[in-house]
Structure formats: structure tokens, C-alpha cells
Structure 1
Amino acid sequence: MPPTQWSGQVGEGDRPASPAGRVAVGIVLNPKHPATLRSYAELVPELRNAGAHYRSMTTSVDRSGRWQAERLVKWGAEIVIILGGDGTIRATAPVLAEADILTFLVPTGTANVLSRHIGLRSSQHAIDHCVHTIASISRGERPDLRNVPINVAEFQTADGARHRSNFICLAGIGGDARAVAHHRASLGLLGYAWGAARALFAADFTANTWNTASMRDAARAEDTANTGEGTASAPVWSVMASKVARPAGPIAVFPEAHIDAPTFSRLTVGPFPHSPMARCRAWAGTAAACLQGRPDAHPLMNYRRTTEVTVTVESPVPAQLDGDLIGDCLELRVAAGEETLRVSAPAS
């Protein structure tokens, strides 16, 4: 069954008139990916069998999820299911977190980083978990939850304009964003590998990076030397802040990162040698260190734990949030969020 876009203002008369024991379920789906429609066709009959009362809304280029989430909250959704990737989750998360709505994820995007890190192995696994859990909620049982922080990003684009946005898993500026720019979505995760291969020889850029840890984090830390530390302008390939261990593929690039942690794992990569041969050797060394589970042992992979990172650059450099380009930037500041999204996750 193809989903229909529901629009218009919502008043009290539009709130769901669910019989006792039926759960009001809102569905936000991103039709960009063919997997979304397939998953939706599998999900809806299961929801009906579980006795749920549901309302579906599709995203668009102009309305990527926030507007849809707002409409569903006003409609009276007790639960919202997101069929899409990390970008759709990022767009809806602030609204759902503010409304304290229980959220389910059905990964149908390209990388599906958040879904993988909370234990959802596939879209079918997610649908099964969703239907089983909603049925148990109808019986009065409590679901297993993960409180996922919604992080904040402030950035200045090449035209001097300043912007504010949110992200969940990963933010970066430099080579990692160039890899995103070159990736081929049609190839799935292999498309990111293609983009990364093209970005390996991207020129280093000059950056000034500041780590700002909160007083609370400093008080907990055994070594407070990194609190409020900054680096002088220096050439780097990329600066990233992550809440996930494996942003793409099976390799733990950020082995100390956790999705529900109060801090980021910040990684500065580079600078790399200029000659192609030496650069290949350097990249081979970082790859070997990652495969051995010790990326921090390589001198070109510099890690820190922090709640806030600010990167300023001399000339515009591409930046990304959760694998989506936000443009060429002169400054990127990210801060660990305090507001959290309640996500239903399989029991670990």
C-alpha cells in the first residue's frame, strides 16, 4: 500500500479517536529510498494486526521531517516510527524529543548509523521489533529504551552566514566531508568507500581547533590537561566529533565512542605527506592501526574526549552532519546535547 501525504492544520477534532487499548502511531517515511516503500508495505499490515491506530506522512525535499513530526505530535501520536536514514532522524528528533514521544527506527537509508549502533540489524529486524514492542505496550508492558542525545552544531558558511542545526552521530570538516561529497548513494555503503577513496588525496587545510570540556567533565576526569585546550593553526586532513564507534562499515574508527555518552570522541587526522607514495604509506598505516583495533596508536590519528569542539579555517572547507553535506564552512562548532530522544531498542 503506498503511503499518502497528510497535510493541513490539526485541531482537536483531528485527534485520534482510538478505542481503549489501541495505540496512536505516527509514521514518518522518506520515499527517497526504494527500501522505504517496501518496508512500509510490510509494516502497515503488522500494525493493523497489532491493533494500532496509525497516521502516515511522507517527507519531501522542502520538508525533510520536522514539519511532519510537528503535525503528528499535534494529531496526538503516542509513538512515532521513522522509516528512513540518519538525515530523516536528525530532522524529526528535536520535535519528538521536546514532546517526549517514544520513537522507533526502521533503517531504510544508506548508512543507517544510529540504527546499527542501537542493535537494529536490518529493516526487517526493526519492523519485527517495532510490532512486537507496540503490542507489548498495548498490554501495559514497558519497552527497553535508549536515550539518544541530540547534539548541536553552529557553523559559518563561505558567504559569512551563520547557521544552527542538530545532529545525532557524527560531525566533521575536511576530508571526511569531501568523502561524503564524492559518495555514490546508489552503491550503499560501498558508495561511501568510493567517496573516501577519492578524498584520500585531498589537500590538507589549515585549522585552529579548540576542545572545551565542561566543568562537570573536568571534575570527573583523572587527567584534566585537555580541558579548554586549543591547538595552534596547523595543517590537517580532517577534524571529526563522533558519538558512534563505526560511522561507516565494520571498522571501529572511534573505539571509545558511545551513542548515549555525554561526551564526543574527537579525532584530528593528519597532516599527511605531500608525495603520493608517502601519502599511500601513511594511509596504509592508519588502516592497519584501525584493523588492529588501535587507531589511537598511529601518530596521524589524534583523539580527545570533549563536550565541545570549535574548528576555524583560513579558507572555506566542506563540512558534514550525520553524513549530509552542509556546505563549505569557515567555522564549525559542535556541542554535546542535553536533550534526548527516547528510542526503543532491542534488549542487549
Structure 2
Amino acid sequence: MPRTQWSGQVDEGDRPASPVGRIAVGIILNPTHPATQRAYAELVPQLRTAGAHYRSMTTSVERSGRWQAEQLIDWGADTVIVLGGDGTIRATAPVLAEADILTFLVPTGTANVLSRHIGLRTTRHAIDHCKRTIASAIRDGDPPNLRNVPINTAEYQTADGARHRTEFISLAGIGGGARAVAHHPASLGLLGYAWGAAQALFAADFTASTDFTASTDFAASTDFAARTGETLSTEGTASAPVWSVMASKVARPAGPIAVFPEAHIDAQTFSMLTVGPFPHSPMARCRAWAGIAAACLQSRPDVHPLMNYRRTTETTVTVESPVPAQLDGDLIGDCLELRVSAGEKTLRVSAPAS
């Protein structure tokens, strides 16, 4: 379907009627993903069959989703379906959360981290879920199975000294993990992330000063202390050479391996991971990575001495020289500082029953 036929498509007028049993559905599409076109062509006839009135809007480089979400809310959308990847969700989520709009996800991006972690296995599975849930709501008014996903805050300083503030959903990081994102060829999909990770394995460590605020409940967790041998506190500062620092609310940021086994998408805290420092010898570094891989495959990454975990509500990483940083798998540039805070505002996402 040509892109020019998508933009602002309206089937039944500029504003929906509001009779009982009638649902106005807004659709936000990221047309850069080929899978979006196929999903959209399959979704719309099913919405018509269900009796929903819809309006669709596409994203662009200049307007990546926030403006489209605002327009659909002004139009009168009762619910919004997002067809895209994690970047599209990140752009739209703050607006939809602020308006308390029920949101459906149809994953058509590369990693689709959030969608996977709320139980949407494939694009087809997501479309079927939309159809069933919206049809049920029109017919019976049945409430959907909801996940309340916190919208987190990131503040960062780029290499030119400029300071920025934005929001993200599931993952933030600086150092080696962000280098992997920077080197991944998007055309290869998930294999591109694997290639990027391979490129980043031998990146040099960097000195980072990390300030964190831990959750009180987690600091009292004797189970975690027993497993890690760590003396827990609610606040702390560490300065040391590291390969990467990451804060996550998802267990599997890329692929099937649980890198953050204690992370949960709807948690009020991050699982924070500091990786490194690594030995300088290439052979010793290969052995270290092999040990980390083995620990991850055994679902116990925390037992490896170079994988240091804690749970935090806020983390600030300051570095001596600019280092790549990423949010939700998208590179935000070389940064001197990255601060992430767990959000209180939540996005209401419809998810399959577990």
C-alpha cells in the first residue's frame, strides 16, 4: 500500500460518533518497517468487521509518534493501536499515559522488547488479540487484561555539553551495550544486534562514577544478599573502570537469554547491571566472555564476578570522556552523563491473558 494513502486516513468522518457500543480506535503506524504494511492491511478489515470506527496516522523522521498521539486524542480516540517497534512506542507512550488511553501494541519493529515481555509472541498474535479484545468491548464492555507499564525518565548530557530530558520504557545503558546498538546493521534484524555485540566485545573499559538509589525492599532482601555476597544499602557511589552500565525493566533485552533475570516490565525499580572491568589480554578477555555466556545460559548471570547487579529507583552514570548511550535500543549519541529515574506515570497496555 503506498505510503501516501495511509497518512491521516479516516473512514467515517473527522470525529467519531459516540453511541453505546461504538469504539473509536486511533492507529499509529511506523511505515519504515515493511512488516507494518502487512499488519495494517490485515488489521483494518478486522476492525471494520468488529464494528470499530478508526483513524490512522503515520509517523515520520520529524514526527516520530508524539504528535500523532496528540492528534488522535483530540479526535476522540477511546483506544490507540501502535504498529511499530520500541522507538515508536517510546515516542507515543508519554502522551497516551498522560491521557490514560488504553493502548494495544502490534510489534513490527526489530527487537520488539516491550511487546515480547507483555506476552505478544508475533505480529499475528497481536492482531488477533486486538480483534478479540475490541470486539468483546464493543459487544459486552468486558474490561481487557491490563498491564500498567511505567514511563521512565532519562536525563543526559551529550559530548557538546548540551543537556536533554526524555522518557523511555524498558532499557537504558551507556558503554559497551550502547556500542553494540551503534554497530548493529538494522537490515539484519536481531542478527544485526548479535553482530553489533560481537563488534563491541573488545571495546575498551571506561571509568564511570555511578550514583544509585536502591529500593528499600530490595536493600532488605536477604535472598539477594545471600546469592551475591553483597552488603546492601539504599544509596551508594562507585567509581571504577567498567565495560558497560545498564538499567533494565525487562529480563531479555535481545534474544532468548535472561540477562536481567529479576527485571519486570511493570516494576517500580530497575535491575541495574555493571559489567567489567575486563582483563586487558585478548585471551583472558575471551575467557571472561565465555564464562559470562555460560552463566547466562544457565540462567544465573549474577554468579559471574564481572556481572554486578542491584535494584535501583534512580541511577546516574558520569564518565570522564564521551561514551555511547542508548534508550530502548536506540542510540542517543556520545554522552558525558546519563541519569535514569523510575517513572510513576503508567501506560495502560492491553495484554493477552497469561
Query: How many angstroms does 1:5 deviate by?
Result: 1.4
Report if the CA contact (8 A) 1:18-1:53 is conserved. Answer: no
Match of 2:319 among 313, 318, 325: 313
Report if the CA contact (8 A) 1:207-1:312 is conserved. Answer: yes
C-alpha distance in 1, partners of 2:171/2:267?
13
Match of 1:242 among 235, 248, 260: 248
2:7 maps to 5
C-alpha distance in 1, partners of 2:164/2:294?
38
| 1:240-285 deviation digits (Å, cap 9, x = unpaired) | 0000000000000000000001110000000111111111110000
Query: How many angstroms does 1:221 deviate by?
Result: 5.1
Output aligned runs, 1:110-259, within 5 Å: 110-139=110-139, 140-213=141-214, 217=217, 225-231=232-238, 233-259=239-265
C-alpha distance in 1, partners of 2:20/2:49?
16
1:59 maps to 59
C-alpha distance in 1, partners of 2:147/2:322?
37
C-alpha distance in 2, partners of 1:86/1:16?
29
2:305 maps to 299
Is the counterpart of residue 338 in structure 1 residue 340 in structure 2? no
C-alpha distance in 2, partners of 1:286/1:271?
13
Query: How many angstroms does 1:217 deviate by?
Result: 4.5
188-197 or 14-23, larger mean C-alpha shift: 14-23
Query: How many angstroms does 1:220 deviate by?
Result: 6.3
Report if the CA contact (8 A) 2:218-2:311 is conserved. Answer: no
C-alpha distance in 1, partners of 2:277/2:127?
44
Which residues of structure 1 form unaligned runs of 5+? 8-12
Output aligned runs, 1:249-288, within 5 Å: 249-288=255-294
User: Which amino acid is 1:116 matched to?
Assistant: R
Is the counterpart of residue 82 in structure 1 residue 82 in structure 2? yes
User: Which amino acid is 2:6 matched to?
Assistant: T
User: Which amino acid is 1:179 matched to?
Assistant: A
TM-score (norm 2): 0.93
Partner SS state of residue 149, structure 2? strand
Partner SS state of residue 239, structure 1? strand
C-alpha distance in 1, partners of 2:214/2:19?
50
C-alpha distance in 2, partners of 1:51/1:259?
32
Query: How many angstroms does 1:185 deviate by?
Result: 1.1
Closer/same/farther in 2, CA of residues 218 and 249 from structure 1, 3 Å limit: closer
Partner SS state of residue 49, structure 1? helix
Note the aligned Cα RMSD (angstroms).
1.6
Report if the CA contact (8 A) 2:219-2:233 is conserved. Answer: no
| 1:140-199 deviation digits (Å, cap 9, x = unpaired) | 111100000001000000011110011101000000000000001111111100000000
1:322 maps to 328
Which 4+ residue blocks in structure 1 deviate beyond 6 angstroms?
none
Query: How many angstroms does 1:204 deviate by?
Result: 0.5
C-alpha distance in 2, partners of 1:183/1:345?
29
User: Which amino acid is 1:198 matched to?
Assistant: Q
1:10 maps to none
Report if the CA contact (8 A) 2:219-2:234 is conserved. Answer: no
Is the counterpart of residue 33 in structure 1 residue 40 in structure 2? no
Partner SS state of residue 237, structure 2? coil
TM-score (norm 1): 0.95
Report if the CA contact (8 A) 2:172-2:247 is conserved. Answer: yes
C-alpha distance in 1, partners of 2:15/2:130?
23
Partner SS state of residue 338, structure 1? coil
Query: How many angstroms does 1:14 deviate by?
Result: 4.0
User: Which amino acid is 2:84 matched to?
Assistant: G
| 1:194-253 deviation digits (Å, cap 9, x = unpaired) | 000000011110100111135x6578656783211111x211000000000000000000
C-alpha distance in 2, partners of 1:51/1:14?
17
Partner SS state of residue 286, structure 1? helix
User: Which amino acid is 2:347 matched to?
Assistant: L
C-alpha distance in 1, partners of 2:232/2:23?
51
Report if the CA contact (8 A) 1:175-1:199 is conserved. Answer: yes
C-alpha distance in 1, partners of 2:186/2:43?
24
User: Which amino acid is 2:312 matched to?
Assistant: T
Query: How many angstroms does 1:21 deviate by?
Result: 1.6
Report if the CA contact (8 A) 1:110-1:188 is conserved. Answer: yes
Closer/same/farther in 2, CA of residues 193 and 219 from structure 1, 3 Å limit: closer
Task: Report the count of equivalent residues.
Answer: 341
